[in-house]
Amino acid sequence: MFEDAVIPLDQWVSSLVEWLVENYRDFFQTIKWPVEATLNGFDAGLNWLHPIIIILAITFAAWKFSGKGVAIFSAVTLTFVGLLGLWAETMTTLAMVLSSVIFCTFAGMPLGIWAGRSDKFETGLRPVLDAMQTTPAFVYLVPIVMLFSVGNVAGVLATIVFALPPIIRLTSLGIRQVHPELVEAAQAFGATKWQVLRRVQIPLAMPTILAGLNQTIMMALSMVVIAALIGAGGLGSPVILGLNTLDIGRAVIGGLGIVLIAIVLDRITQSMAQRS
């Protein structure tokens, strides 16, 4: 019993992806274009700017939102990463994370707001988000490669799918946590649904929304090494190269770079949420 597959689901999935590649290649190239343009713009811009400018900008942001301690840590961290010879890889990683987070925000916030205001939509969306969060990240890579080829863009697209659920969930949670009496008071003064959303619900939900943004950034960084398996550059490349050649030193400095950048971004975005 159960020696052979009765339901050939693997064959059905393979056939579906092959059919999509053959019949909708132009459609997927259209989806790929804005992601590619955004990523290339960030990558070229960050690698064109002098490192001192970027260090000063991130240090200022850290000081503005998180205080003196995080600002000093950010400056030392970025300088240390540059001294390790990982500056170009770090800028590519930042470009990938920024691109992923932008598209996650544009897609996730409207969906989260809709889910926060509609019980039916939230009920239907929940199993989709559960599947996106529990499916192993490696599973995304095969269809992504078949539909979009390999490279940085494919890595960003896989990251978007992986990092999208937190901002949707926490945006929905933030909208639902706004006290109903505040909404009723706004409506009693003649506010429309759009005005209630824009002037009451979103401002009060902003700390929770920014917490979701923080989680999205962290999940995007966690995909850096996995995305390197499909040709994405950045700090994941030294880790994969070190794994393939058993060069522990190269793998360690790549992983250390990811950890340090993650700490800097986490502290800044957490402080943004708290101040909001």
Q: Tell me which residue range forms the domain holding 70.
A: 24-275
The percent of residues above 90 in pLDDT, for the chain, comes to: 19
Domain contains 252? yes
Domain contains 15? no
Could you report the per-residue pLDDT of 148-165, keeping only the tens digit for each? 777 788 888 888 888 899
In this predicted structure, the answer to whether residue 271 has a pLDDT above a threshold of 80 is yes
pLDDT for the residue numbered 239:
83
Domain contains 197? yes
For the chain, the three-class secondary structure string (H helix, E strand, C coil) is CCCCCCCCHHHHHHHHHHHHHHHCHHHHHHHHHHHHHHHHHHHHHHHHCCHHHHHHHHHHHHHHHHCHHHHHHHHHHHHHHHHCCCHHHHHHHHHHHHHHHHHHHHHHHHHHHHHHHCHHHHHHHHHHHHHHHHCCHHHHHHHHHHHHCCCHHHHHHHHHHHHHHHHHHHHHHHHHHCCHHHHHHHHHCCCCHHHHHHHHHHHHHHHHHHHHHHHHHHHHHHCHHHHHCCCCCCCHHHHHHHHHHCCHHHHHHHHHHHHHHHHHHHHHHHHHHHHC
Domain contains 270? yes
In this predicted structure, the answer to whether residue 55 has a pLDDT above a threshold of 90 is yes
Domain contains 264? yes
Could you report the per-residue pLDDT of 69-109, keeping only the tens digit for each? 889 999 999 999 989 888 888 999 999 999 999 999 999 99
Domain contains 78? yes
Most confident of 35-44, 138-147, 266-275: 35-44
160, 108 Cβ separation under 8 angstroms: no
Domain contains 16? no
Average per-residue pLDDT for the chain: 85
pLDDT for the residue numbered 75:
93
pLDDT for the residue numbered 1:
60
In this predicted structure, the answer to whether residue 130 has a pLDDT above a threshold of 80 is yes
In this predicted structure, the answer to whether residue 140 has a pLDDT above a threshold of 80 is no
Domain contains 67? yes
Q: How confident is the model at residue 276 (pLDDT cuts 50, 70, 90)?
A: low
pLDDT for the residue numbered 252:
86
pLDDT for the residue numbered 56:
94
pLDDT for the residue numbered 171:
92
The more confidently predicted of residues 212 and 22 is: 212
pLDDT for the residue numbered 167:
92
Structural domain count of the chain:
1
Query: What does pTM read for this prediction?
Result: 0.87
For residue 37, give the CATH number of its domain. 1.10.3720.10
pLDDT for the residue numbered 2:
64
